[in-house]
Amino acid sequence: MRRADRLFRIVQLLRRRRRATRAADIARELGISERTVYRDVRDLVLAGTPIDGEAGVGYRLRPGYDLPPLMFDRDEIQALVLGARIVRQFGDPALARASDAILNKVASILPDDLAPVLEDTRLFVPGVVSAKESAGALGIARGALIERRKLRLSYADAKGSETERTVRPLGIFFWGRIWTLAAWCELRTDFRSFRTDRVEEAEFLEERYPERPAMLRARWRRQMEEMAQRTNMREAVGRR
């Protein structure tokens, strides 16, 4: 890791943590020695970075500090390009436009020696039919999650049978080829997952769901954990 990249990552690490961070924790996360952390933090402070530190407590970046313009290394550029290509292929149109805008912003700050990496990254994402079928429902579901709105879905199961569902969205999950919407289904009075490529129609409802999203997600996670435990127990019994 280049020293400039290491200093930048130390500042980023401190910036996203509200509490003091010990040198040992910084060293473990960055894969460097504590002695290197002490030296780098000292150099950052001498350069004017507002880091407060206390022996035995850790380091803390004072609130309100603005980082200098972002810079990326080769691996980070490739990660951005691959992520943008995945979003462009599997996301909805708004996300696809946003991914292109991100790459344009990255291109505007790259130095000449790194600019070719952005264009020449040979990590590709094959197209699949289900991605286009998912796009409409995915965009509406994202909006519902942001605004905490209920959704009305016309949904077809694996056999093609259609039902009308009113759901309270919890989260959207990408499984490599398909997206699923996790939600509380008012028809089944239970948590359900819906493949977005099987949603025939989706619309916002004016009604917001009464529970706080965090509480609803916590209930869902507990149910998923309990189901996983029951499955593991059945498998263990079956192996006896």
- For residues 218 and 170, state if they share a domain: yes
- For residues 141 and 205, state if they share a domain: yes
Domain assignment present for residue 83? The answer is yes
User: Which of the pair, 199 or 110, is modelled with greater confidence?
Assistant: 199
pLDDT at 191: 95
Q: 67 pLDDT exceeds 60?
A: no
pLDDT at 136: 84
The residue from 61, 90, 107 where one domain ends is 61
Token pair, residue 45, equals: 């402070």
Domain assignment present for residue 239? The answer is no
Domain assignment present for residue 92? The answer is yes
Task: Name the nearest CA neighbour of 209 among 164, 170, 158.
Answer: 170
User: Once rounded to an integer, what is the mean pLDDT over residues 200-227?
Assistant: 87
Q: Which range, of 6-15, 90-99, 191-200, averages the lowest pLDDT?
A: 6-15
Q: How confident is the model at residue 130 (pLDDT cuts 50, 70, 90)?
A: low
Task: Name the nearest CA neighbour of 148 among 89, 67, 207, 197.
Answer: 207
Cα–Cα distance, 2 to 230 (Å, whole number): 48
- For residues 93 and 172, state if they share a domain: no
CA distances from 173 to 142, 182, 217 (A): 11, 8, 13
- For residues 136 and 206, state if they share a domain: yes
Number of domains composing the chain: 3
Domain interval for residue 212: 130-234
Domain assignment present for residue 67? The answer is no
- For residues 172 and 134, state if they share a domain: yes
28-47 tens-digit pLDDT: 999 999 999 999 999 889 88
Q: How many CB atoms lie within 10 A of CB 2?
A: 9
Domain assignment present for residue 69? The answer is no
Task: Name the nearest CA neighbour of 27 among 40, 17, 42, 15.
Answer: 40
Token pair, residue 153, equals: 């879905």
Domain assignment present for residue 11? The answer is yes
- For residues 154 and 176, state if they share a domain: yes
129 CB-side CA count, 13 A: 1
Q: 124 pLDDT exceeds 80?
A: yes
- For residues 145 and 226, state if they share a domain: yes
User: Which of the pair, 230 or 194, is modelled with greater confidence?
Assistant: 194
pLDDT at 106: 85
pLDDT at 33: 92
Domain assignment present for residue 125? The answer is no
- For residues 114 and 146, state if they share a domain: no
pLDDT at 74: 85
- For residues 112 and 202, state if they share a domain: no
pLDDT at 222: 92
Q: What CATH number has the domain bearing residue 14?
A: 1.10.10.10
221 CB-side CA count, 13 A: 7
pLDDT at 15: 82
Domain assignment present for residue 199? The answer is yes
160-211 tens-digit pLDDT: 899 999 999 999 999 888 899 999 999 999 999 999 999 999 998 988 888 7
pLDDT at 27: 92
Token pair, residue 202, equals: 């989706």
- For residues 149 and 169, state if they share a domain: yes
pLDDT at 69: 55
Q: 153 pLDDT exceeds 70?
A: yes
pLDDT at 55: 62
Q: 240 pLDDT exceeds 70?
A: no
pLDDT at 85: 93
- Residue 181, amino acid: L
User: Which of the pair, 127 or 147, is modelled with greater confidence?
Assistant: 147
pLDDT at 80: 92
Residue that has been written with the tokens 């952005």 in this structure: 118
- For residues 137 and 182, state if they share a domain: yes
User: Once rounded to an integer, what is the mean pLDDT over residues 208-222?
Assistant: 85
Q: 13 pLDDT exceeds 70?
A: yes
Cα–Cα distance, 22 to 113 (Å, whole number): 35
